[in-house]
Copies of this chain bind each other. A is one copy, B any other.
Amino acid sequence: MTFQGMDIVSIRDLSREQIEQVLERSERMIPYARGEKSSKALDGKILATLFFEPSTRTRMSFESAMMRLGGRITDLGVPSMSSISKGESLADTIRMVEVYSDIIVIRHPREGAARLAARFSSKPVINAGDGAGQHPTQTLLDLFTIRRIKKDFSKLNVVMVGDLKYGRTVHSLAEALSSFGADLTFVAPTALQMPKETVKQVEKAGGKPKLTNHLEETIADADVLYVTRIQKERFPDLAEYQKVAGMYRVDKKLLREAKSDLIVMHPLPRVDEIDPEVDDTPHAKYFEQAFNGVPVRMALLNLVLGGEL
């Protein structure tokens, strides 16, 4: 059950005990992540960041996590400006980067790229999202955010809304939440509903997810409302996108029906899915959720690199 040297490609790479261990360790990281305490746990260590598609939030969050632990960062840079533009294979890029670093974080538009990277690298690889595939640190920070506020997952009523088909983050989060005992409701236009495979996984984990097109009817019973952006870039067909964009919008009017302790989450960036008027309500937890990326990634970096904190 040791983490040292481990690749984190999918949330399924982690046992339930390991997930618990990350969440507990993350809690301990909070004052360091806030800059209230300072650590040199990863002094002398180098993190290589490889973002084959832009993800400012994830990149800055990993950078901040590494720096809060005293470590350094080297970045591959924009792919069109790098050796990739000279025709280098991903395997060769990885074998180059691993000699300059102690751990690699990779984001890639192609599903399976992170697994490939892990196979070619002798240094640990953390998947920061690969296409429609996995994004395990997002799942961990989502779990951490919910548990910090709600204490327990069991019997928690979690409503997921938006693009549940292409929205990468909801798939592994749904599976994990279900295995931890939460009840799930999936709200999406029919064309963007949760993939059958994920529904099956949720059921296998013991859940009985409800599927619907209507957000309003789910609000009153929700403990957690997890909103996702309907991302234009995930749609092969623009016409399909335009039909569903803006179908759900969380605003104060909608939240009037909600429990007073409902929390609203979003992996960000948002566009129109959550009205800025919600930001000042006690429901809004998406900025706290973004912050939680730092202690969770600190915990992971620390565990994988064997830092003492």
Contact = CB atoms under 8 A, between A and B. Distances in A.
Interface of A: 35, 38-39, 43-46, 48, 54-57, 59-61, 63-64, 67-68, 70, 72, 74, 76-78, 81-89, 91-93, 95-97, 99-102, 229, 231, 268-271, 276, 287, 290-291, 294
B77 A56 contact: yes
A99 B290 contact: yes
Given A63-B100, A64-B101, A100-B63, A268 B92 contact: yes
Given A87-B269, A271-B86, A102 B56 contact: no
12 contacts: A35-B44, A35-B46, A39-B44, A46-B68, A54-B77, A56-B77, A56-B84, A63-B74, A92-B269, A96-B290, A99-B290, A99-B291
Given A56-B83, A57-B83, A294 B100 contact: yes
Contacts of A271: 86-88
A93 B60 CA distance: 12
A82 B60 CA distance: 11
Nearest to A45: B35
A67 B72 CA distance: 7
A88 B269 contact: yes
- When all copies of this chain in the complex are counted, the total is 3
Q: For A84, A100, A294, which residue has the most chain B Cβ atoms within 10 angstroms?
A: A100
B67 A74 contact: yes
Contacts of A63: 74, 100
A60 B268 contact: no
Q: For A88, A92, A93, which residue has the most chain B Cβ atoms within 10 angstroms?
A: A92
Contacts of A91: 276
A198 to B, nearest CB: 24
A163 to B, nearest CB: 13
Nearest to A39: B44
Task: Give the top 9 A-B pairs by smallest Cβ distance, nearest first.
Answer: A38-B44, A99-B291, A88-B269, A64-B100, A56-B82, A83-B269, A67-B72, A87-B271, A54-B81
Contacts of A92: 268-270
